[in-house]
Homo-oligomer: A and B are copies of this chain.
Amino acid sequence: MSASTVAVIGGGVVGGGWVARLSLNGHAVRVHDPDPQAERKIGEICALARRAYAKLTLAPQPEPGAITFHPSIGAAVRGADWIVEAVPERLDLKRMVYASIEIENQGGIIASTTSGFRPSDLQDGLQNPERLIVAHPFVPVYLVPLVEVVAGEKTDPAAVETAKRFLSGLGMYPLHVKKEIDAFIADRFLEAVWREALWLIRDGYATTEEVDEAIRMGFGLRWAQMGLFEGYRIAGGEAGMRHFIAQFGPALQWPWTRLTDVPELDETLIELIAGQSDAQSGHLGIRELEAKRDDNLVAILQALKVNDWGAGRVLAAHEKRLFDLGAKPPPDDISQPVETLRLRVPPDWTDYNNHMNEARYLQAFADATDALMRLIGCDADYIAAGGSYFTVETHIRHLDEARAGEEIHATTQVLEGAGKKMRLFHRLWRGADLLATGEHMLIHVSLKTRAASAPGALVAEKLAEIAALHAGLPVPDGAGRAVGMGR
């Protein structure tokens, strides 16, 4: 299932999030939702997702799959390889949906988003129960990597493996819950905390805001990267996990752990919570809160990626796949300036005015230089073997401004390429508008001695070939120029 046809039944917060993740990963999505507002709501979720993905990664993304809306379940699931069931948590309703699916579709995997029902219970009464699994995602579905995958008694093990591959291909982290249990793993923790929070608020020990601060200023920062046990392993100090349990285990017997029965969620408590939540977050609309949440998720995922850790590793693997899929062959025609960079300006490359920061121009040129180096064979393997080019001199002219989200690209002309020297002239473009030029002198160095050295024969040969072809091109406007020299 690379780019396949998928169906989503139910387009609420979870179903709509699935639509966004599926479509933006290149799958055609067929949607059924009786809500007349569904198309608008899903459109808004997709807009949020596109916004987030533009910030999340520079990797080339597939052409989004078409999203179509269908008047019935049967029409929506026709020809679908993957069918998301994302209707409300009522067993009778879900079973009715499955019955409708089975009339029109016998082969696609049915992936229920249920957060509580066991797949074996969902399979009851299906003609082809072997294709039903639970794939339980977390809001916002288009950004959070976790998806719990649970098989029922009648699920075909091959369907589980197919599902895990498919979900990984969407940039997700499928956690295979190996033994059926109500509410699986993550929601049991959410429920435990929710229960405790209800007590604290009902009895006036904390407000919703204080609960949130207690989490996000504290252990939430740890949990985003390590979860529970790995963090505790450290908190145990040099003696590790056994020591931690010995030290904190007894707390389980303390009186305050007895508060384990279920608080009654009556109108008074609901009003108390909703009122406090309004006071805490009501100054921001839901769309603003969603955008803030997404910006933070993006930033945390990117931060973890830099550190090669946790959810950041999932992002890195997904990006690698996207880069591989989107990789272009080297240009056939190297007689003209070569395209060495193409990207959308990421929001964090811009200042408060939304204009690309000064230093990011040099970053773009440095990336273009790297691409030219790869083209002449000075790639990761060559560098690992001890040779590289170092920039010794740079001249940048800023001619126009670029804004977040704009697509920019660079072309590179080789001005000199002989001996240890390589002189490049980059032009940075937005479409046909020239934004900046960069002239760079690089010297080939030995990474062992950090001193100038001759490049390898193959690199020298390829560079000389391009330099000879480019020697016939006009000298670029601005090349060989000092600051303030004018044209």
Query: Measuring CB to CB, which residues of chain A are less than 8 angstroms from any residue of chain B?
Result: 12-13, 41, 88-89, 116, 138-139, 144-146, 148, 173, 175, 177, 179, 181-183, 185-186, 188-198, 200, 204-206, 208-231, 233-238, 240-242, 245, 247-249, 251-258, 260-263, 265, 270, 273-274, 276-278, 280-281, 286, 289-290, 292-293, 295-297, 299-304, 306-307, 309-311, 314, 348, 353, 357-363, 366, 390-398, 401, 416, 423, 439-441, 447, 450, 479-485
Contact = CB atoms under 8 A, between A and B. Distances in A.
Contacts of A363: 357-359
A280 B229 contact: yes
Contacts of A361: 362
Given A88-B247, A188-B200, A295-B307, 6 more contacts: A144-B222, A185-B200, A229-B273, A229-B276, A233-B286, A260-B260
Contact of A217 (B145, B280, B360): B145
Copies in the complex: 2
Contact of A293 (B226, B241, B484): B226
Given A252-B265, A256-B182, A394-B394, A441 B193 contact: no
B197 A348 contact: no
A344 to B, nearest CB: 18
A65 B173 CA distance: 45
Nearest to A173: B217
A301 B228 CA distance: 19
16 contacts: A88-B247, A181-B205, A189-B197, A195-B252, A214-B227, A220-B223, A230-B280, A240-B274, A245-B265, A260-B260, A260-B261, A296-B309, A359-B362, A393-B395, A394-B395, A394-B396
Most chain B CB inside 10 Å of its own CB: which residue of A193, A222, A280, A396 = A222
A227 B276 CA distance: 14
Contact of A223 (B223, B249, B258, B299): B223
A204 to B, nearest CB: 6
B191 A286 contact: no
Given A220-B223, A359-B362, A480-B483, A304 B299 contact: yes
